[in-house]
Structure 1
């Protein structure tokens, strides 16, 4: 899913860890929409902020293992992840994933490191630190933000995205209702509890209302929502009347940065796993990924959800 053969995030720590002002905890699932992680890195680099990004299974919060009843495994995994944060001695830990934050919030706080306790959402950080003089290029679109408001954290992050996008020249934010009853973000388990058919109808109705109010684009905040909205647009005509973009893409566009390709969206539109394999063959061969691993991942992500 990466734009480049190299990755901007660390999956393992180097032998010598250099102190960083910021450590950005990506978690695991954002890497399915790797363009978001790449764009976040581009933005922080453009802001000349000393930072390190940590992502992938080796920096897992353990929430999946907790859900499977493997509490001790989850606690050990989280402990190792927090120890990695501390090695950088950061001024600030930024987190991306709502599930990671939720998992930390529900653990015994005596077990949570001081670095992790001082975590701040990356979206809130960006809204507070991107100065107006960095947003120089007009982005002439009208956007409806897909936002969650069932938790105070999501209300704060939604407001941060609204404030940040409102500072982009030429961009207009259209007020639309929030997604209620869907938890902190659009995860598969939460959608199943909500009802998949109801989720499809709710999003289609929301997209129609956003279009009627003048929106040209729907904007995602979280990686999980972006994936679900991408697959909805693939499978359900009612959500195709708006172009989908993550808010980071629009921020980078206004900064004049090279735009990262949303490969998840491109691959999702290919008709079959065989065709996906054919289109990606050169890339996974170049990166040393076994074809059977690629096929299994593509089937799990794209075919089963049709």
Structure 2
């Protein structure tokens, strides 16, 4: 293989797209199943025409405004995938259609915007994590990637692939590590910018850079020699598992590992985990469910169902998206969905409304003053039953609602990490407070 990783990736994906385009019947069922169509102002009945426009985009044509709009508002819910009867992955087609649409702006503009988008994420991750963690803890959950050949000759049971952003809510990652330790699982932790999945560039339309980043990450994740990599981040699971790994196999003939979510790994080890869930958790819990990886939700419910005296209740609300951030493309729809979730949770009499993923958690906890039930992550419930207690420092800082208060509270860590105060001020304002409710109002029924 003499092509660059980015070119090899695009060649492989475009080959898949060509095969799927031939298999697609233009029935429009994927459009009808998409939960974002109507909120985006599109008509599900126009599904066949929207699909035709999408396929025209993928073939190098102009497409249609409706097809471009559909690609723009995709939240990777995956509902389109289960609606297709012909072996097509509409989620991949829509994502590649977004790349084709943005390519009209010119390669230089797309690459510049993707670089800026990734840079903002990287800076935010670095600063927010260091406002919560001492350097030695950063080293534990975000260790540097070693060169090939410097890992142990005996492969670990798994590589725990954290992704980039869970380190902003480090109590979640630390609870996962403590659970793995309790299960006596051997592992290497890999994550952060050096093992980015490429989703940030992919979402911005820079497919070549996304492919290069994804292929490099696959190589790095393979260095410890584990046959199984377990992911925390749903975006990483989709980007590497559904996009990069299949393309890598087409490019190089094989993949070096299997990738699956950590929740499924824990659910598969439930017989070993159950004896560790010693402490009753007398709570009535509803989950903030997401549609992109339905097996993850099922696994979380299985895990919570094993906790003594904990009750899981289902809410009659739409289940959409990958994480909350994906819904930001339609802010009114996002706000209305959150309102419906809170009202349904209150009507169900829950004590706890639990996030599944880290991005959802960061947004969710900012609304704690509005509701009477607690807002936390499901890993905190598992930790409580195991007797593990790691404080949610992100939530504590976010609820200060004041940049100066956060800076004063974290002064020692700012000094230890030699963070620039102006950068800290800007990142905290944008990351923690830009989406916060300015004036908390009670939720109906709360």
TM-score where L is the length of structure 2 = 0.62
Which residues in structure 2 correspond to 1:1-306 (within 5 Å)? 1=129, 2-5=132-135, 6-7=137-138, 8-14=140-146, 16-18=150-152, 19-104=155-240, 105-107=242-244, 109-112=246-249, 114-116=255-257, 118-130=258-270, 131-149=273-291, 151=292, 154-180=293-319, 182-187=320-325, 190-193=326-329, 195-233=330-368, 237=370, 240-257=371-388, 259-306=389-436
Distance in 1, matches of 2:300 and 2:356, equals 8
TM-score (norm 1): 0.88
Q: CA RMSD in A?
A: 2.0
The separation in 1 between residues aligned to 2:188 and 2:305, in whole angstroms, is: 28
Contact 2:317 2:340 in 1 (8 A): no
Q: Please report how far the alpha carbon of residue 163 of structure 1 lies from its aligned counterpart in structure 2 after TM superposition.
A: 1.0
Larger Rg: 2
Q: Secondary structure, in 3 states, of the residue corresponding to 2:174?
A: helix
Report if aligned partners of 2:365, 2:376 keep a CA contact under 8 Å in 1.
Answer: no
Q: Which stretch of structure 1 is more off in the superposition, 289-298 or 54-63?
A: 289-298
Secondary structure at the counterpart of residue 53 of structure 1: strand
The answer as to whether partners of 2:321 and 2:327 remain within 8 angstroms in 1 is no
Distance 1:74 1:45 in 2: 33
1:120 is paired with a residue of what secondary structure?
A: strand
Question: What is the CA distance between 1:53 and its match in structure 2?
Answer: 1.4
Q: Aligned partners of 1:67, 1:213: CA distance in 2, in Å?
A: 36
| Cα contact 1:146–1:178 (8 A) shared by 2 | no
Give ranges in structure 1 of 5+ residues lacking alignment. none
Give 3-state SS (helix, strand or coil) of 1:31's partner.
Answer: helix
Range moving further from structure 2, 167-176 or 203-212? 203-212
- Separation of aligned partners in 2, 1:106 and 1:78: 9
Q: Check the 8 A contact 2:160/2:189 in 1, yes or no.
A: yes
Q: Tell me, yes or no, if the aligned pair for 2:237 and 2:260 is still in contact at 8 Å.
A: no
1:91 deviation in Å? 3.1
SS in structure 2 at match of 1:173 = strand
SS of match in other structure, 2:256:
helix
Deviations 1:193-240 (A, max 9, x none): 3x3233223222222222222210001111111112123445xx3xx2
